Amino acid sequence: VEGASVFVLRLGHRPGRDRRVTTHVGLVARAFGAKGMFLTVEDKSVVESLRDVVERWGGEFSVRVASDWRGLLRRWKGVVVHLTMYGEPLDERLEELRRARGEVLVIVGAEKVPQWVFRRADYNISVGSQPHSEVAALAVFLDRFFCGEELRRDFKGRMRIVPSSRGKKVVTE
Ligand code: SAM
């Protein structure tokens, strides 16, 4: 799992309305160990703010637009995991998912997710069977998937936080 490549597909982004949440999906994806994110709709402000974070804070994280997201899903060689409150409990499938080979694509939605996605996904997984948020679902999924190791990664960024009990310490190279 340490070296597993996970990518996130953000479905159904509505420019304007979902800007902040989609940006947070990207920030969480990066900070919690994913290698990149696909947007289905071009939204320059989201792409730019995420690339800006990568430029300053480091890490390898790609942000790409996949307008043909159905094609992306059809061609995806690895495992496709759709996070949905209607799915199977994460705990029941976690070990199996961790053993999966190839690149893992994790789908999170915004509004209603098309039925086709439920059928195409290799796994429909819930993080608790209650409605909450794509940001929370993604964070918990990635943290469980990487067993918390992702929080100790060195992003080798131009900017780096020196953890402290009080105040803000940031080193800039
Ligand atoms: N009402 C929408 C539906 O029926 O698909 C879901 C809206 S929810 C705010 C947006 C996204 O959050 C979902 O597409 C899903 O990816 C994620 N999500 C929300 N609750 C979840 C849960 N309990 N488990 C997994 N994912 C969840």
User: What's the gap in Å between 41 CA and the centre of ligand 1?
Assistant: 19
The number of the ligand 1 atom at minimal distance from the alpha carbon of 130 is 23
pLDDT of residue 100: 86
150 close to ligand 1 (CB < 6 Angstrom):
no
Name the closest-CA residue to atom 5, ligand 1. 112
User: What's the gap in Å between 140 CA and the centre of ligand 1?
Assistant: 13
130 close to ligand 1 (CB < 6 Angstrom):
yes
Q: What is the mean pLDDT of residues 32-42?
A: 96
Name the closest-CA residue to atom 4, ligand 1. 112
pLDDT of residue 93: 98
Mean pLDDT of the chain: 95
Sign of the alpha-carbon dihedral angle for 80, 83, 86, 92: positive
How far is residue 8's CA from residue 158's CA, in Å, rounded to a whole number? Answer: 25
Q: What is the mean pLDDT of residues 36-45?
A: 95
95: tokens are 């070990």
pLDDT of residue 27: 98
Q: What is the mean pLDDT of residues 84-111?
A: 95
- Nearest-5° angle of CA 110, CA 119, CA 99? 90
The answer to whether residue 108 scores a pLDDT higher than 80 is: yes
pLDDT of residue 16: 87
Percent of the chain at pLDDT exceeding 70: 98
pLDDT of residue 22: 97
pLDDT of residue 1: 62
Q: What is the mean pLDDT of residues 53-76?
A: 97
> pLDDT confidence of 84, banded at 50, 70, 90?
very high
What are 8's strand-pairing partners? 37, 106
How far is residue 7's CA from residue 2's CA, in Å, rounded to a whole number? Answer: 14
The number of the ligand 1 atom at minimal distance from the alpha carbon of 134 is 12
pLDDT of residue 130: 98
pLDDT of residue 17: 92
pTM: 0.96
119-128 residue pLDDT tens: 999 999 999 9
| Mutational test site, ligand 1, from 14, 115, 134, max ligand atoms within 8 Å of CB | 134
134 close to ligand 1 (CB < 6 Angstrom):
yes
User: What's the gap in Å between 84 CA and the centre of ligand 1?
Assistant: 5
**Residue 53: which residues within 8 A CB-CB, separation 6 or more?**
27, 30
Q: What is the DSSP letter of 68?
A: -
Which candidate, 138, 102, 107, places its Cα nearest to that of 121? 107
Residues 42/13, Cβ–Cβ less than 8 Å? no
Which candidate, 117, 126, 102, places its Cα nearest to that of 3? 102
